[in-house]
């Protein structure tokens, strides 16, 4: 603690000369403001008067007016801030001592670096205060600390504008590989052939919503995909189950992989062959890069922190969340609709940041039950928020007519995956088979045997 006190006695990291040089350079040449504003914001300046001057410069630039000593002074006076900024004399002094050959990039970088260091100090001090207060759970404090530091790390300027030539140059294999469909990076296979043909698989950064009414098989479908990706493709999969325990999920995975009746498994009525298949399936799953989190009421910050730690250890292939409406939010919202909207947007941003497809299950409202002739769900049936439809790259509904017509034996096992929204491809119905005793979806035999080309 003694060394900490000594360091704090030195004062916060600041470069007042660099701040003055940046502001002075803009006063001499107002075309530089846009270049500076692309990297710095008002809060990056350490002095309040510098922050006010920079804000007034921004207002002048937004109105298309000149930025010089006189116009900035008038703008400060209009906001009753000129005296607080030490008057016109201080504005005149800002360009005093500017080098003959100005190096604006270096000044801007120095101001940004000092600002980042101050923000780290403030975040650390806030963390210390929360730890000393002891009013929150340690896990929550840690999750917030990781999130705060992550945001600080992302605050530095990144190049986001690329010309077509730069995009092609960065693409592995160059132009020929970029134009060759067979050599382009394909999406992650789900194991369901028609779905993969229509979507090209699950792509990094995509938010994929799979929705359905209760008992339609949302969790079963998600586990089928997770198991295929982890076991068959050997890609790392993280499953966040906000409803079922990790033991229940593992039981489902084992029974589906071993093709053992889940009811017989729970009752303990298994023969030697079934036990052998379960042991083989367990050995296969143990080696698979599949991770399950059963934390109920998990929030976005906690999920973010866990995924970052997992990604630091190994590349992520797929994230599954079961399900959206059970996720909690730490913010205050006027309605559940606003809260779900914030969560769906946060999940989309998380998928994009991590560069991984995010498969999120969602509930539907009761509207499908009210339709007499056709109970198939629609996009408007998504529960709690229209933002789910807006944020998602792909929206698919699970539908089994047998749930509504239990007396129809000919419908038993028939299932449809209704691809109702896709940003980059076609929509339509995909026929599947649901095996009740295994709680598992499978391709239809005719789809596996067909060599038809993917739909246009």
The model's pLDDT over 361-412, given as tens digits with 9 standing for 90+, comes to 988 877 777 777 777 887 777 766 567 777 788 888 888 888 777 777 777 8
Contact partners, residue 60, CB within 8 Å, separation at least 6 = 66, 67, 71, 72, 75
What does the longest C-alpha to C-alpha distance in the chain come to?
A: 93
Q: What is the 3-state secondary structure (H, E, C) of 101-112?
A: CCCHHHHHHHHH
Range of weakest confidence among 41-55, 114-128, 196-210, 267-281: 267-281
Tell me how far the alpha carbon of residue 118 is from its chain's centroid: 27
CATH number at residue 78: 1.10.860.10
H helices, E strands: number in the chain: 20, 9
Write down which residue in 130, 154, 178 finishes a domain: 154
Vertex 356 angle, CA 355 and 359, to 5°: 145
- Confidence grade of residue 99 (pLDDT, cut at 50, 70, 90): low
Shared-domain flag, residues 285 and 338: yes
Please name the helix (run of DSSP H) or strand (run of DSSP E) that holds residue 395, with its range, or none: strand 394-399
Split into its structural domains, the chain has a count of 2
Mean pLDDT of the chain, nearest integer: 79
- Asked if residue 359 has pLDDT above 80, the reply is yes
Q: Are residues 313 and 205 in the same domain?
A: yes
What is the SS3 assignment for 407-420? CCHHHCCEEEEEEE
Tokens at 115, concatenated: 């600002």
100 and 43 housed in the same domain: yes
| Per-residue model confidence as pLDDT tens digits over 78-98 | 999 988 988 888 988 887 777
User: Are residues 130 and 248 both part of a single domain?
Assistant: no
Q: Which of 154, 183, 209 is the C-terminal boundary of a domain? A: 154
Alpha carbons 310 and 290: distance in angstroms, whole number: 11
Q: What pairing do the DSSP bridges indicate for beta strands 358-363 and 316-322?
A: parallel
Give the other-Cβ count within 10 Å of 268's Cβ.
Answer: 6
Q: Residue 456 — very low, low, confident or very high, per pLDDT cuts 50/70/90?
A: very low
251-300 confidence digits (pLDDT tens): 888 888 888 777 777 777 777 887 888 888 888 888 888 888 887 777 77
In a domain, 164, yes or no: no
Asked whether residue 8 is domain-assigned, the answer is: yes
* CATH code of the domain in which 344 resides: 3.40.50.300
Question: Which pairing describes strands 414-422 and 394-399: parallel, antiparallel, or unpaired?
Answer: antiparallel
118 and 211, same structural domain? no
pLDDT score for 39: 81
Helical spans, DSSP H, in 200-299:
218-227, 246-258, 262-267, 272-287
Q: Is residue 454 part of a domain?
A: no
97: domain range? 2-154
Candidates 35, 74, 243, 274; catalytic one: 243
Q: What is the pLDDT of residue 167?
A: 64
Residues 210, 147 share a domain: no
Contact between 236 and 314 under an 8 Å Cβ cutoff? The reply is yes
Q: How far apart are alpha carbons 144 and 142 in whole angstroms? A: 5
Q: Is residue 329 part of a domain?
A: yes
pLDDT at site 52 = 93
Residues 300, 348 within the same domain: yes
Instruction: Say if residue 130 is in the same domain as residue 201.
Output: no
Residue 54 contacts residue 40 (beta carbons within 8 Å): yes
177 in a structural domain: no
Whether the Cβ atoms of residue 29 and residue 61 lie closer than 8 Å to each other:
no
Q: Tell me, what's the pLDDT at 10?
A: 63
Asked whether residue 166 is assigned to any structural domain, the reply reads no
167, part of any domain: no
pLDDT at 54: 92
Q: Name the pairing type of β-strands 414-422 and 207-212.
A: unpaired
> Which whole number is the average pLDDT over 196-212?
87
Q: Find, among 292, 345, 352, the residue nearest to 321 by Cα.
A: 292
Residue 58, number of CB atoms within 10 A of its CB: 17
The pLDDT, as a whole number, for residue 129 is: 86
* Residue-wise DSSP of 9-47: HT-----HHHHHHHHHHHHH-TTHHHHHHTT--GGGSSS
* Percentage above 90 pLDDT, the chain: 6
Segment holding 253, helix H or strand E: helix 246-258
Higher pLDDT, residue 237 or 7: 237
pLDDT at 455 over 70: no
Query: Could you tell me if 235 and 96 lie in one domain?
Result: no
CB 434 within 8 A of CB 441: yes
Alpha-carbon span 214 to 217, nearest angstrom: 8
CA distance 240 to 304: 11
Average pLDDT over residues 133-148: 76
**How many CA atoms are closer than 13 Å to the CA of 158, on its beta-carbon side?**
5
Give the pLDDT mean for 212-237: 87
Q: Is 125 helix (H, G, I), strand (E, B) or coil?
A: helix
Q: Are residues 131 and 197 in the same domain?
A: no
Indicate if 141 and 201 belong to the same structural domain: no
pLDDT in the model for residue 162:
67
Return the minimum-mean-pLDDT range out of 81-85, 205-209, 315-319, 384-388. Answer: 384-388
Residue 183 lies in a domain: no
At which of 135, 154, 173 does a domain end? 154
Assess whether 243 carries a catalytic annotation: yes
| Whether 67 contacts 54, CB under 8 Å | no
**Pick from 383, 388, 396: nearest CA to 343:** 388
**Do residues 110 and 201 share a domain?**
no
């Amino acid at each position: 603690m003694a060394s900490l006190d000594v360091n704090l006695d030195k004062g916060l990291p600041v470069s007042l000369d660099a701040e003055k040089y940046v502001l002075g350079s803009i006063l001499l040449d107002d075309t530089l403001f846009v270049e500076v504003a692309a990297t710095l914001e008002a809060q990056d300046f350490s002095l309040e008067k510098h922050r006010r001057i920079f804000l007034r410069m921004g207002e002048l630039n937004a109105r298309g007016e000149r930025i010089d000593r006189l116009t900035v002074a008038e703008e400060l006076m209009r906001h009753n801030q000129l005296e607080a900024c030490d008057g016109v004399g201080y504005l005149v002094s800002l360009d005093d001592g500017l080098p003959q050959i100005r190096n604006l990039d270096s000044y801007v970088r120095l101001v940004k670096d000092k600002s980042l260091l101050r923000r780290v100090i403030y975040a650390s001090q806030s963390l210390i205060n929360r730890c000393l207060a002891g009013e929150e759970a340690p896990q929550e404090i840690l999750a917030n600390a990781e999130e705060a530091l992550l945001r600080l790390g992302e605050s530095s300027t990144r190049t986001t504008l690329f010309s077509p030539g730069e995009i092609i140059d960065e693409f592995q294999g160059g132009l020929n590989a970029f134009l060759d469909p067979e050599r382009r990076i394909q999406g992650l296979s789900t194991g369901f052939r028609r779905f993969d043909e229509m979507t090209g698989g699950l792509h990094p950064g995509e938010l994929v919503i799979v929705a359905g009414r209760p008992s339609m098989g949302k969790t079963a479908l998600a586990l089928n995909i997770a198991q295929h990706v982890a076991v068959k493709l050997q890609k790392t999969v993280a499953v966040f189950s906000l409803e079922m325990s990790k033991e229940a999920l593992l039981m489902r995975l084992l029974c589906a992989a071993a093709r053992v009746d889940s009811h017989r498994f729970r009752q303990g009525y298994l023969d030697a062959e079934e036990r052998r298949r379960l042991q083989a399936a367990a050995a296969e799953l143990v080696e698979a890069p599949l991770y399950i989190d059963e934390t109920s009421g998990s929030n976005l910050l906690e999920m973010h922190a866990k995924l970052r730690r997992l990604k630091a250890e190994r590349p992520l292939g797929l994230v599954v969340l079961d399900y959206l409406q059970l996720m909690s939010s730490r913010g205050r919202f006027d309605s559940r609709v606003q809260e779900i909207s914030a969560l769906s947007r946060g999940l989309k941003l998380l998928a994009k940041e991590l560069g991984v497809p995010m498969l999120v299950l969602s509930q539907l409202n009761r509207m499908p039950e009210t339709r007499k002739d056709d109970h198939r769900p629609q996009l408007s049936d998504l529960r709690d928020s229209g933002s789910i439809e807006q944020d998602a790259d792909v929206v698919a509904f699970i539908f089994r007519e047998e749930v509504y017509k239990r007396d129809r034996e000919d419908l038993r096992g028939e299932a449809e995956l209704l691809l109702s929204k896709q940003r980059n491809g076609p929509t339509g119905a995909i026929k599947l088979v649901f095996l009740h005793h295994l709680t598992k979806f499978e391709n239809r035999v005719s789809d596996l045997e067909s060599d038809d080309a993917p739909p246009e």
